[in-house]
Structures are given as C-alpha cells and as structure tokens.
Amino acid sequence: MEKINALKGFKDLLPGDSERWDWLALTARRTFDAFGFSPIHTPILERTTLFTRSIGETTDIVEKEMYTFEDWDGKQVTLRPEGTASVVRAFLEHRHQMPVLPVKLYYQGPMFRHERPQAGRLRQFHQVGAEIIGDIDPKQDIELLSLLTYFFKRIGLDNLTLEINSLGCPVCRPPYREILQDFFKKKLTTLCEDCNRRFHKNPLRILDCKKESCKTITTDAPASAKHLCTECDEHFKTVQQGLKTLKIPYQYSKHLVRGLDYYTKTAFEMTTQNLGAQNAVAAGGRYDGLVEALGGPATPAIGFAMGMERLMHLIPETKGMPSTLQLFIVPLGESAYQTLFPILYSLRKKKLRSEIGYSDSPLKKQMKQADRLNAEYVLIAGDEEIAAKKAILRNMKTKSQTEIGLSNLINEILAEIEG
C-alpha cells in the first residue's frame, strides 16, 4: 500500500525539537503572565468575512493565501491566517465577560496560509501573540515593546533588532498616500505587477514588496513618519522617549509597513540577521480602527505576533533539553514484574521519569535498552531477589551497585537518585 505523508508546508514536530518548543511556549506564558496578560483561546475556523474585513482585501493574505472553503451548510469559512481578528471578534462577542479596559490578552496556536513553502515559511505555522485592547495611550505601546524585548532576552536572544515606524492615522495617512503615489507615478513601468496593482489600491504596501527590483526603487520613497499629524507625531515621539527611558535599543525604520491593512500609528518588527530573507521573527503595531471595522465601538488597540518556527531556529539547542530517563527497571521473570510494576507507578507519581523492561527479555537485552534510553539508574531484580525481598540499584555512570530492601524501596530509590 502507498505510504501517506504530511502535506507540503505542514510539519511534524518530533521529540528532540518538541521539548524545546514546549520550553519556548512555557517561557512565553510565564513572561506574558508577569506583564499582566491573560490567555485566550479562539477557534481555528472562522467565517471568511472576519478576515477579509479586518486584514484587507488587497493584502497578500486575503488575495492568495487563505484556506477558504464552503462548509456543508454553504457558509464560507476560513482556517485562521492570523490571530488578532479572532481575538477582537471574541472581545466584541463577550465584552461583558472581559476584565476592565484595557484588556490584555495573549494567545498561542497554529495559523494557516497557502504560501510557497521554503525555509522559515510554512503553510501551517504557529504564532504567540499579545493584544492590549482599549487604550490609546503611548504607554501601552511602550509596555508591549518592553514585553517583547524582555521575552527575547529571557530566551537568550539579545542580538535582535527592534525596528519601529509610525504609519499615521485616518487624518494623516490619506495625504501621505498621495505623496507616495506622486513618488511612484513615474516609476510604474519598473515596478512589479503586484506593485502596479498596489499603486491604486494600497500604495503603502509597495514599501513592503520583497522583490529586489522594487526594493531598489523604494529606497528614496518619502517616509510616513515625516508626514504625521500632530497627534501621531507626539505619539511616536513619546513611544521613542519611553523606550529610551527603559534603555531599550531600537532602530527607526522609515519604510517599515505591515502586510495587514488595519495598522495605524506605531508599527514594529523584531528582525535578525540570521534567518536569511525571512528576517522578521515578530511583528505588530497599533490597530486603532479594527474594533470599529468589526462592528464594535471605537476602541484603540495594539498587539504583536511572533513566529514560533522562526524562533526555534534561533534559540540555542541546549534550551529545553529532553529530560533524561532517571530510572529503568529490569524485571527478570514474571513474579519480579508483578512486584515491580506497582513500584514504577508509585515512582512516576513522585515525578520520577521511569520505564520498565519486558519481563521475558534476558538481562543483557534489557540492559541494552536501558543504555539506549540513556537511563541514569537501573533497578534489577529477578524472581530470586524478589523472594529474598531485595533488588539491585545500579548507577549507570559510576557503575556502582547497591542492594536495597523491598520494604523501603521507593524511599531508598528516591533518596539515591534525587540525592
């Protein structure tokens, strides 16, 4: 029969890596917790309109990357390509159950985009993200950026660059958009086909084009932060001042825009030199118009998401090492097995990572298995030892052996192994 493999762009996470993954997720959880965020879990499948309306019709995600299909009842549904839209939907749907504003939420989970699979680009990937909903104050921007910076430090990555920019608001963005169109008007023939479309619908996104030829043209394009209204300008200055006060290094990046339409004011990315073309590890910004666009009252918000797979490539291999097997029990014969199996259960309840061999396997074979599993200790007992109410505990590193009595076996094992 033909073997069935996973789909292209969908990956299994196996022992050896999965421990590091869990360590990363746990560290994120602890960090978000310290900064006062609460976890939120939303469904993976949502109505398609949630994403088309929030992310924007002319974005890469909505134009060509969404996993959309018709449900059995004819409804258009989509596997979520990102987390913010769902969090905002849930916030609106359960507003009265939410804590007082600003609501601070974080999430972790799979996202789906039909992209061309390559290094750092999958079709099912995972994000950890945080959102602060309900406060326009630049203090929130500073808080979120300090959380992001601290998280990377905590996982041992302090060589990343925090890049920030301001994208303006509905007051200053339209005039900037025109200035940008003026700049690109004479260059349309040299811009790629996608950028020609973006020129009419969303010229800011030309600045985000990954094609080298377009990147060259955009080098001299006018910067949004130079065309901000007074409110946005003040906001941006306060954010930068706040980062300086906290001694958080950052870089002003004049052409940083986000691939999603809902961003306003502060936009940012955490980038690295170590991932080739896929250099953004985390990205986010303020989205003051999104809650209203999804049918809620005008509510400012800010958030970010980071890609777990890209993080996994960066963190040292030694982080979250698989835990070692502390004890391997070698029962020689059925009666030994019957006595030792309940002891294994007790030891496991005491959190000792432990295993047992097959009672009908010879000693040599079971010892080989213990070796392969890298067991620190081995407990050996045959029917004879059991009859004499004792067992042998062997330290696999020092090769020293001690005889211990069955009556106090559990305590003696724990004392020996845990010191």
Q: Does 160 help bind ligand ATP (rule: CB under 6 A)?
A: no
Q: Does 131 help bind ligand ATP (rule: CB under 6 A)?
A: no
**CB of residue 111 to ligand ATP, shortest distance in Å:** 7
Output the DSSP codes for 13-47.
--TTTHHHHHHHHHHHHHHHHHTT-EE----SEEE
Q: Which residue is nearest to ligand ATP (CB)?
A: 307
Q: Supply 255's token pair.
A: 């052409």
- Tell which residue, 169, 322, 331, 138, has the closest CA to residue 236: 138
- How many Å apart are CA 240 and CA 251, to the nearest integer? 10
Cα angle: 248, vertex 251, 253; to 5 degrees:
145
Q: Token match 């073997």: residue?
A: 3
Pick the closer one to ligand ATP by CB: 115 or 137. Answer: 115
> What are 121's strand-pairing partners?
118
Contacting residue, 50, 101, 280, 417, with ligand ATP by CB under 6 A: 280
Q: Tell me the backbone φ, ψ of residue 194, rounded to 5 degrees.
A: -60, -45
Q: Does 62 help bind ligand ATP (rule: CB under 6 A)?
A: no
Pick the closer one to ligand ATP by CB: 120 or 333. Answer: 120
Q: Does 282 help bind ligand ATP (rule: CB under 6 A)?
A: yes
Contacting residue, 40, 87, 105, 122, with ligand ATP by CB under 6 A: 122
- How many Å apart are CA 175 and CA 191, to the nearest integer? 22
Site for ligand ATP in 333-362 (CB under 6 A): none
Contacting residue, 42, 86, 108, 127, with ligand ATP by CB under 6 A: 127
SS3 percent helix, strand, coil of the chain, rounded to 5, is: 40, 20, 35
Contacting residue, 46, 194, 261, 309, with ligand ATP by CB under 6 A: 309
Q: Supply 46's token pair.
A: 């949502």
Q: Does 115 help bind ligand ATP (rule: CB under 6 A)?
A: yes
**CB of residue 371 to ligand ATP, shortest distance in Å:** 38
Q: Which stretch binds ligand ATP (CB under 6 A): 28-36, 199-207, 231-239, 273-281?
A: 273-281
Contacting residue, 58, 238, 278, 361, with ligand ATP by CB under 6 A: 278
- How many Å apart are CA 351 and CA 320, to the nearest integer? 17
**CB of residue 353 to ligand ATP, shortest distance in Å:** 32
Q: Does 281 help bind ligand ATP (rule: CB under 6 A)?
A: yes
Contacting residue, 109, 110, 242, 259, with ligand ATP by CB under 6 A: 259
**CB of residue 13 to ligand ATP, shortest distance in Å:** 13
Q: Tell me the backbone φ, ψ of residue 90, rounded to 5 degrees.
A: -65, -40
Pick the closer one to ligand ATP by CB: 134 or 303. Answer: 303
Neighbours of 386 (CB within 10 A): 20
Would you say 291 and 266 are in contact if contact means Cβ atoms under 8 Å apart?
Answer: no
Radius of gyration of the chain (CA): 28
Could you tell me which residues come within 8 angstroms of residue 55 by beta carbon, excluding any fewer than 6 positions away?
61, 62, 81, 82, 85, 260, 261, 262
Q: Does 307 help bind ligand ATP (rule: CB under 6 A)?
A: yes
Residues in contact with ligand ATP, shown as a per-residue x/- string from 70 to 99 under the rule CB under 6 A: ------------x-----------------
Which spans of this chain sit near ligand ATP (rule: CB under 6 A)?
82, 113, 115, 120-122, 125, 127, 259, 278, 280-283, 305-307, 309-310
